[in-house]
Homo-oligomer: A and B are copies of this chain.
Amino acid sequence: MSKKLSQLGEFGVIDRIRKIAGHSRSVMEGIGDDAAVVSSSEGKDLLLTTDMLLEGVHFTKDMPARGIGHKAMACSISDIAAMGGIPKYAVVSLGVSRRCEWDFVKQIYEGMKKTARKFDVAIVGGDTVRSPGVIINVALVGEVARKKAVLRRGAKVGDLIFVSGPLGGSLKSGRHLRFVPRVAEAQYLVKHFNPTAMIDISDGLAADLGHILEESRVGAVIYENKIPRHPDADSRGALYYGEDFELIVTVSPRKAEGLRDSRKSKFKFWPIGEITARRGCLQFVDEKGRIKTLSLKGYTHF
């Protein structure tokens, strides 16, 4: 008998899908990173990403519609940022009910458009379909210098781990509707600090750092007293709650010196720990110095 998706879990499903999707020569990195990297004709590679937001799962209709539109666009922009790329063109599929009010759709689009414009992204096309609940899918094309995409799989033992901002409480506080994708920060990192791996935090620090560990075949130790938190978030929230869309980045010890020193740095980055050789093992040193091994799980979709 066929298994239900809930029995396989999100990553079980993704692994299986990855196997079916297979590989193609022109594709340098496929399913499993923040965005796919494909070889373009010239000095640039293309980045492709797609994100779907659903009413009742990712947002509710009583949330501000402009914020929902912002989030739909900003999630995809964040994916491109996390690859070290520049977002360029978006196509938007929208599912809405016939009974839906135009004002609601209009505000979603205005929210998307405002955020797109802020990051110089052109919304170039779309599809509209009838649907019982609201569905927004943003597919985004970005660019990155040839072979310069920052993947999840390059972290080395001894690298330092940084995050780009305070974590936790994004959903409860409403920050998930107004976060700023870290395009400028990522560009700054790429330009000056040669990041070895990068990801944006959508499922939570533990889960998303976990992806780096898994893809890079390394481990990590992180320190509770170094992890920046929002005042409304506790340690658990900073570790396990998603939707912060801050970057996790690893850099070599030599490069880390400059990044640690916020007087020299244009943006502030928080060092939270180091990459270790204990493959797949995420250790957490709490404020009392006790060491725990963390689960790599965060929000799972099934």
The interface of chain A, by Cβ under 8 A from chain B, is: 2-6, 8, 10, 13-14, 16-17, 20-24, 26-27, 30-31, 33, 35-36, 38, 40-44, 46, 48-54, 56-58, 88-89, 91-106, 109-110, 113, 122-133, 135, 137, 139, 141, 301-302
A31 to chain B, nearest CB (A): 5
**Complex Cα spacing A132 to B56, Å:** 10
Pick from B44, B92, B101, B103: contact of A41, CB below 8 A.
B44
Return chain B residues, CB-CB under 8 Å to A20: 106, 109-110, 113
What CA separation (Å) do A89 and B91 show in the bound complex?
Answer: 14
> In the complex, which residues of chain B have a beta carbon less than 8 angstroms from the beta carbon of A131?
54, 57
Residue contact A89 to B124, C-beta cutoff 8 Å: no
Q: Beyond the given A2-B102, A46-B141, A51-B127, could you list 14 further A-B residue pairs with CB under 8 A, ordered by the A residue number?
A: A2-B104, A5-B99, A5-B101, A6-B98, A17-B128, A31-B125, A31-B126, A40-B40, A50-B127, A50-B139, A52-B129, A52-B135, A98-B302, A130-B302
Instruction: Check if B48 sits within 8 Å of A141, measured CB to CB.
Output: yes
Chain B residue numbers with a CB within 8 Å of A301 are 128-130
Given contacts A41-B41, A50-B137, A137-B52, contact A91 B2 (CB under 8 A): no
Residues from chain B with Cβ under 8 Å of A129 in the complex: 52-54, 57-58, 301
**Copies of chain A in the complex:** 2
Q: Which residue of B lies closest to A21 (CB)?
A: B123
Contact status A36-B95, CB under 8 Å: no
Residues of B within 8 A of A27 (CB): 89, 122, 124
Q: Which residue of B lies closest to A32 (CB)?
A: B125
**Chain B residues with CB under 8 A of A17:** 94, 105, 109, 126, 128
Q: In the assembly, what is the distance between CA of A210 and CA of B122, in Å?
A: 27
For A99, give the chain B residue with the smallest CB separation.
B4
Give, as a whole number of angstroms, the nearest-CB distance from A96 to chain B: 6
Name the contact of A48 in the complex, choosing from B36, B38, B124 (C-beta under 8 A): B124
